[in-house]
Amino acid sequence: MTVRLIQPTGRGFLLFDSHPDGCARLVTDMAERAQPATPANGGERPVALIIGSSSGYGLAATVAGISRYGVQGVGLCFERPPTERRTATAGWYRTIATAKLAEEAGSDFAFVNGDAFTDTTKDDVLDLIAKRFGGIDYLIYSVAAPRRTDPLTGVVHQSVIQPIGAEHVTKTLEFDSDGTPRLREIHAQPATAEETADTVKVMGGEDWSRWVDALDSRGLIRPGFTTVALSYIGSHLTSAIYRQGTIGAAKLHLESTASALGGRLSTYGGRALTSVNGAAVTQASTAIPGIALYVSLLRGVLGEDMRSPLDQSIDLWDQLLGAAPLDVDGQGRIRLDGWELAEDVQAAVTERWKVATADTIGDLADIDWFRDEVRRLYGFEVPNVDYSRLCDPDLPWPAA
């Protein structure tokens, strides 16, 4: 593909192209906000494997880890390279920028592009860890995927975002092609038992567990090893579609996997935890019915007090590395979502949700922020980027 002007064209929340400069700028902006700190162990660089490192919470954990604590290791994600017609996915460009950031910070960090669910990717990543570091201290599991091929059976499982048991009617926020916000009511049909089981196969703890098994069988787990998988609970407003729905079933499985893994890892003095994070605008979350409306209202209520994935990832590393006390709930889950689920915040969001109409939504929700956040997922609407510049989208994956 030749050097060209890259524009935000697409449909709904999906854009066709990503802007390399905008994606790079987002990463450097995040890095600037993650001030360096010294871990309780005195400053030895921890080694981490971060799965889902190119986007959302996994990217934030990678950038925060590198910038704040000089974390080294391997980032794994699944991104599409540039083609003749299209730029690469945004995560491709964010990974290039994250690799540069690591290099500048003196952090030995390699990035692998591959399907985390396959045994070949596991072998490649573990070979890299064995050769480069000899073992790891942290595994952060932050994958959001639409499907998974079970490596034992070859069966492809698709995840769905549906309620369980009964139809659910919810308000949802959409945008016309000219960007005008629309409030619509949608009827989400209940998932079948098979669809729920498939979603658990994709988004539950099975693959996380297989990664820990693979690390263990290769002798790569260091004493005191900690693994964390990302989870979500959220509001009663979204619970029918999320926490009580198919994805919630997968999250319950993830949380019970943490207990099982924790028992096994105790022989290494290790821990397996889930981290319940707050709502954020990511490629994965915009696919969930009602979430666009909910997050826009949440931002309308909280404004700048909304905690970004980077803020929460800083909290996560501070807790993991002993710079702050581990904040776990009665079920052993790290809770980074207190700001979202605070009673007064939920009461205010609920009130706005109830009264929102097509005419009032612009006053009740921060629609402009949401629309810009969606565009920023693709590297557009990023401050201090010259979008009139001709860009070369054909950038290579960083050398491992």
- Exposure string over 344-353, b if 16+ CB within 10 A, otherwise e: ebbebbeebb
Q: Token pair for residue 381? A: 């609407």
How many residues are listed for the chain in this entry? Answer: 400
Instruction: Determine the Cα–Cα distance for residues 82 and 95; give it in Å rounded to an integer.
Output: 14
Nearer to ligand NAD by Cβ, of 107 and 283: the residue is 283
Residue 116 interacting with ligand NAD (CB under 6 A):
yes
CA of 58: how far to CAs of 179, 218, 350, in Å?
29, 24, 29
Residue 215 interacting with ligand NAD (CB under 6 A):
no
The binder of ligand NAD chosen from 18, 54, 227, 238 (CB under 6 A): 54
Residues 6+ apart with CB under 8 A from 257: 204, 205, 206, 208, 209, 229, 272
Residues binding ligand NAD: what is the number (CB under 6 A)? 29
Residue 79 interacting with ligand NAD (CB under 6 A):
yes
The binder of ligand NAD chosen from 61, 74, 76, 110 (CB under 6 A): 76
Residue 227 interacting with ligand NAD (CB under 6 A):
no
Q: Which of residues 80-109 bind ligand NAD (CB under 6 A)?
A: 91
Residue 144 interacting with ligand NAD (CB under 6 A):
yes
Reply yes or no on whether 242 is catalytic: yes
Nearer to ligand NAD by Cβ, of 39 and 54: the residue is 54
What's the burial of 174, exposed, middle or buried (CB within 10 Å: 0-12/13-18/19+)?
middle
Nearer to ligand NAD by Cβ, of 39 and 288: the residue is 288
275 to 304: interface string for ligand NAD, x by CB under 6 A: --x-xx-xxxx-------------------
The binder of ligand NAD chosen from 56, 163, 204, 245 (CB under 6 A): 56
Query: Residue number with the shortest CB distance to ligand NAD?
Result: 56
The binder of ligand NAD chosen from 232, 242, 294, 317 (CB under 6 A): 232
| Per annotation, catalytic residue among 141, 242, 294, 378 | 242
Q: Please name the residue ranges forming H helices in 112-245.
A: 119-132, 193-203, 206-217
End-to-end CA distance of the chain: 24
Nearest to 144 by CA among 254, 44, 294, 62: 254
Of 66-74, 111-119, 346-354, 366-374, the window that binds ligand NAD (rule: CB under 6 A) is 111-119
Instruction: Provide, rounded to whole angstroms, the least separation between the CB of residue 309 and ligand NAD.
Output: 7
Instruction: Provide, rounded to whole angstroms, the least separation between the CB of residue 143 and ligand NAD.
Output: 5
Nearest to 170 by CA among 292, 305, 317, 299: 292
What's the burial of 329, exposed, middle or buried (CB within 10 Å: 0-12/13-18/19+)?
exposed
The binding site for ligand NAD (CB under 6 A) comprises 52-58, 76-79, 91, 115-117, 142-145, 230-232, 277, 279-280, 282-285
Q: Enumerate the active-site residues.
A: 242
